Amino acid sequence: MSGADVPMTEAMSTGAGEAQHRDAIGSGPSPTTLAKSRVLLVDDDLLVARGYERFLKSIGYAVETRDDGPAAVELFKQQGFDVVISDVCMPNMSGLELLRAIREHDLDVPVIIMTGGPEVKTAMEAIEYGALRYLTKPIDGEALAAIVARAVRMHQMARIRREALEQFRAEGGQIGDRAGLEARFARGVATLWMAYQPIISYADRAVFSYEALVRTEEPTLRNPMDFFDAAERLRRLPDLGRAIRAHVARSMDTIAPGTQVFVNAHPADLEDPDLFSPAAPLTAYASRVVLEITERAALDQIGDLMPRLAQLREMGYRIAVDDLGAGYAGLTSFAQLEPEVVKVDMSIVRGIDRSATKQKLMGSIIGLCRDLGIFLIAEGIETAAERDVILGLGGNLFQGYLFARPDKPFPVPDWSACP
Looking at per-residue confidence, does 328 or 266 come out higher?
266
CB neighbourhood size of 277 (10 A):
12
For the segment 12-69, what is each residue's pLDDT rounded down to a tens digit?
443 444 444 444 433 344 444 455 789 999 998 888 888 889 999 988 899 999 988 8
pLDDT at residue 25, rounded to an integer? 38
For the segment 391-400, what is each residue's pLDDT rounded down to a tens digit?
999 999 999 9
This prediction's pTM: 0.59
Q: Is 370 left (phi over 0), alpha (psi -120 to 50) or beta?
A: alpha
Q: Which percentage of the chain shows pLDDT scores above 90?
A: 46
Of 116, 115, 48, 109, give the one whose Cα is nearest residue 75: 109
Rounded to whole angstroms, how far apart are CA atoms 112 and 124? 13
Contacts made by residues 352-361, CB under 8 angstroms, sequence distance 24+: 352/386, 352/389, 352/390, 353/383, 353/385, 353/386, 353/388, 353/389, 359/389, 359/393, 361/325
pLDDT at residue 333, rounded to an integer? 61
pLDDT at residue 303, rounded to an integer? 77
Q: Is 316 left (phi over 0), alpha (psi -120 to 50) or beta?
A: left
For the segment 132-153, what is each residue's pLDDT rounded down to a tens digit?
787 777 777 788 888 898 888 8
Region 280-301: mean pLDDT is 85
Supply the mean pLDDT for the chain: 83
For the segment 335-384, what is each residue's pLDDT rounded down to a tens digit?
678 899 999 888 889 899 999 999 998 999 899 899 989 999 999 999 99
Rounded to whole angstroms, how far apart are CA atoms 31 and 61? 9
pLDDT at residue 44, rounded to an integer? 87
Task: List, edge to edge, every strand of the sheet that includes 38-42.
Answer: 62-66, 38-42, 83-87, 111-115, 133-136
Q: Which spans in 119-140 are helix H?
A: 120-128
Whether residue 129 has pLDDT greater than 80:
no
For the segment 187-227, what is each residue's pLDDT rounded down to a tens digit?
999 999 999 999 999 999 999 999 999 999 998 898 898 89
HEC profile of 292-356: EECCHHHHHHCCCHHHHHHHHHHHCCEEEEEEECCCCCCCHHHHHHCCCEEEECHHHHCCHHHCH
Region 225-233: mean pLDDT is 90
Who's near 83: CB < 8 A, 6+ residues apart? 37, 38, 39, 40, 109, 110, 111, 112, 148, 151, 152, 155
**Band of residue 108 on the pLDDT scale cut at 50, 70, 90:** confident
Of 49, 63, 60, 46, give the one whose Cα is nearest residue 14: 60
Residue ranges and CATH numbers for the domains of the chain are: 3-170 (3.40.50.2300), 178-417 (3.20.20.450)
DSSP, res 82: S
